[in-house]
Amino acid sequence: MTIASAVGELAPAPRPAPTPGRVWDIVLRARELGILVVIFAVFGGTTIYNSSFASSASVQQLLAGASIYALLGVGETIVIITRNVDLSVGSVLGLSAYVVGEVFLHNPNFPVPLAFLVGIGVGVVCGVVNGAIVAVARVPSLVVTLGTLYLIRGVDALVVNGVQIDPSSIPGGFIGVGVNNILGVPWIFVITAVVVLVVGYAMRTFRSNRDLYAIGSNPAAAELAGVPVRKRVFWAFVFSGAIAGLGGALWLAQFATVASTAGSGYELIVVSGVVVGGVAIFGGSGTVLGAALGPLLLNTINQALVAARISAFWNQAIAGGLLIAAIAFDRFVSLRRERNLRLRRAARGA
């Protein structure tokens, strides 16, 4: 045996070149990157048409306008991953905003950090109600949260009773969180970004959070594997409520006034943004980062239409089209994965 042949035998076999199918699978997984590309494309195209769209004030408005939706999307993502949905987030936001406003109205010197905790507490109470009915009574989440949407909105209207919180009742330090910026970046966007990063890290690191994906993929199999399905689903709704409560406090800080209609219609925008961001409406897949980028994309399109002086009707039409396309895309990815699994099992059996 020659040295050349021995070296040839010991050398590792060359890796197979990536097939078109594998390249396609990699592209499908880069959902967040694709959304970022679209955001920059819309931003760049609109800037070419209207240069003022790239001004500092316009960018700040763009980021601040998407922050509340992106924040609510974080909590919504946790619920949707478990194959559920929370339609009450808008109502919880409105109730939380008004309660915090009432606290300042009757206690002008109330500490600002505690005010945010009050908002979160209101959301937690609402989340406990949703989670208990869904997880313990096993009532479908669509029915439960649709009911609590109107129930909480009714409670909000009863509490408000036609009274609107006046901006003069809100401390300047609290309002500063919603309107000030740091190095040109709105504080409200910074807070949302921190929440996204922390929750995203937790979802990738801790086993209890990874269980949520197992529940969404197959609840029955997850339960047989020893995953405490009811407990995880319950806490998912509590977390969603807490995030919506925080969103209510930030909403008050941003607008400095609140009425009984605060947060109306937010639930549909949030769900649309989350699904567009790559969180499968069927559960079991998606990331918090993608869920935050989805609302940012929708808000960028909305602001671009305004800058281009195009009818607001197209904003709703485009949002609806993106939602349908995202659901169809997720279904396509799911079917493709199932087919690949069947092919692999068949190959092993052979």
Span 256-303, pLDDT tens digits: 888 777 878 888 889 888 988 888 888 888 889 988 988 888 888 888
* Cβ contact 32:285 at 8 Å: no
Range of the domain at 97: 58-263
Within a domain: 173 = yes
Residue-wise pLDDT for 195-214, tens only, equals 999 999 999 888 888 889 99
How many domains does the chain divide into? 1
Within a domain: 277 = no
Which residues, other chains included, contact 45 with Cβ-Cβ below 8 Å and sequence gap of 6+?
Answer: 304
Dist. CA 129–CA 136, nearest whole Å: 10
Mean pLDDT of 78-103: 92
pLDDT of residue 308: 75
* Cβ contact 50:308 at 8 Å: yes
pLDDT of residue 330: 64
pLDDT of residue 155: 83
Within a domain: 345 = no
Mean pLDDT of 112-127: 94
**Which pTM value belongs to this model?**
0.83
Return the structure tokens found at 205.
């690191």
Within a domain: 46 = no
Continuous H helices in 161-185? 172-179
Residue-wise pLDDT for 320-336, tens only, equals 777 677 677 666 666 66
Residue 165 DSSP label: B
Mean pLDDT taken over the chain: 82
* pLDDT tier for residue 126 given thresholds of 50, 70 and 90: very high
Closest CA to 239 of 140, 135, 101, 137: 135
Strand partners, 165: 258
Classify the C-alpha dihedral 14-20-22-26 as positive or negative. positive
Residue-wise pLDDT for 211-253, tens only, equals 899 998 888 888 888 889 999 999 999 999 999 999 999 999 9
Residue owning tokens 């129930």: 151
Within a domain: 103 = yes
Residue 132 has pLDDT above 90, yes or no: yes
Residue 8 has pLDDT above 70, yes or no: no
